Structure 1
């Protein structure tokens, strides 16, 4: 993975040791949350990441009210201020079967660029939620590298719950850990889509590979997760963005409630229906 600095922009400050990024999953909640953070924190794009395992794509600037011709690419790096975390936005999926290789490359980039703390944002399939309690609204789940069982006192103080389905001794989690540590001697690789069992669902998601490889590099990793369904996932993205702010002790700086909505969200679901059809 190669970091390509933005022309005419200052490089990321050396004391920028925190990283926030999405893990692609149901509803694209992680990507929407990163969009919201970039817009609200008025983060500046400082470069691009080039990796052969990410499908190519190109688009217009999603944060400017007047398109200036700046192109948006698959992996972009943003920085907010001199002490803010770096944010990586991923706009296209990983080449099928290459998630582990991508996670390896991204973890190597993070470690070599001096990152110490990593936050991964992702959605989970609401249909697999075993203990449903919506009385308090959306619930934040987490997975942390602080302890081997994924538990973190700091996250618990925020009222978040450790992902109960996390089992570091399960075979697929073991495979990810061994692959990340370079000690894999497993004869069988990770199960394919058609061979996944119920217990393989969570380790098969992108956040799990990223978590395993970042952790193997000695970085402090926290996954912030929420259950959702396909559809209008903007409320879920606010939920994860707010959790990220709590974790870093940063308050939203936009107007009103503090959030600055990205301009690209105005066309996320297209124009309203023609009223004549009713």
Structure 2
């Protein structure tokens, strides 16, 4: 599944892996863009799979003419050896009938790589929140039992709010009804979290309730939330969003503008 860009495959053991879920507003993917661009991370390989819609394009993190036309693919891996950080960026939708297969491939690669923890950045439909989810912060987290053993104190200190489990049938007042995890619009988030619980993987999900539209502010909110935990960037007195470097690919995030010939 993982194809190295170099002759010798990178050693990722004990690295932290950050990856997005393809979800509403593409918030996780935009947040990952900010991480890769700001930390100037190096591409070390890509994920070869038939589970993603095939695509190719120019370098989304180009800084000069020389590297602008380097070919990039739907799922690539970047690393920062200094921070012991790996990032998997997913740029294409998952083929609906191959969602389970893709999760299995991810879990297999994660186990083989020996990551110390995995963080999935995701989002969920704001309009489908339960009454209790309308109050307070739109940010939520989930953590597997394996990671909770290692990070319980850190998560408690952060004071984050865990994703609520909702009643399966809200209109029924059955005390024996078992609540369930409901994350609409979040793609493979719930499935990957469930798989990781079964496989005893140290995985956390950070998600944001949002709506489709201009989701750049949501991406900044999510990546700053992640930085509070992982400390990827030093906390400075400057405006929080200004410390993140916007990649070149965002110049065309909403298309190329209105042609003057229309007027």
Query: Is TM (by shorter chain) over 0.5?
Result: yes
The equivalent residue for 1:122 is: 122
8 Å CA contact 2:23–2:124 kept in 1: the answer is: yes
1:58 aligns with 2:56: yes
- The 5-angstrom pairing of residues 234-249 of structure 1 reads 234-249=216-231
Q: Equivalent of 1:40, from 38, 41, 53?
A: 38
The equivalent residue for 1:222 is: 204
8 Å CA contact 2:12–2:115 kept in 1: the answer is: no
The equivalent residue for 2:254 is: 269
More divergent stretch after superposition (94-103 vs 117-126): 94-103
Aligned-pair Cα RMSD in Å:
3.2
1:202 aligns with 2:200: no
Q: Secondary structure at the match of 2:120?
A: strand
The equivalent residue for 2:110 is: 110
Q: Secondary structure at the match of 1:54?
A: coil
C-alpha distance in 2, partners of 1:249/1:48? 26
* Residues 66-93 of structure 1: CA deviation (Å, up to 9, x unaligned): 3532111011000013333110000111
Length-normalised TM-score, structure 2? 0.81
8 Å CA contact 1:15–1:83 kept in 2: the answer is: no
More divergent stretch after superposition (67-76 vs 257-266): 67-76
* Cα offset, 1:155, TM superposition: 2.7
* Cα offset, 1:132, TM superposition: 1.9
1:97 aligns with 2:97: yes
* Residues 216-260 of structure 1: CA deviation (Å, up to 9, x unaligned): 332211100001100000111111111222222221699983211
The equivalent residue for 2:173 is: none
* Cα offset, 1:98, TM superposition: 1.6
Residues 253 and 89 from structure 1, CA distance in 2 versus in 1: closer, same or farther, beyond 3 angstroms? farther
8 Å CA contact 1:99–1:206 kept in 2: the answer is: yes
Length-normalised TM-score, structure 1? 0.77
Q: How many residue pairs get matched?
A: 244
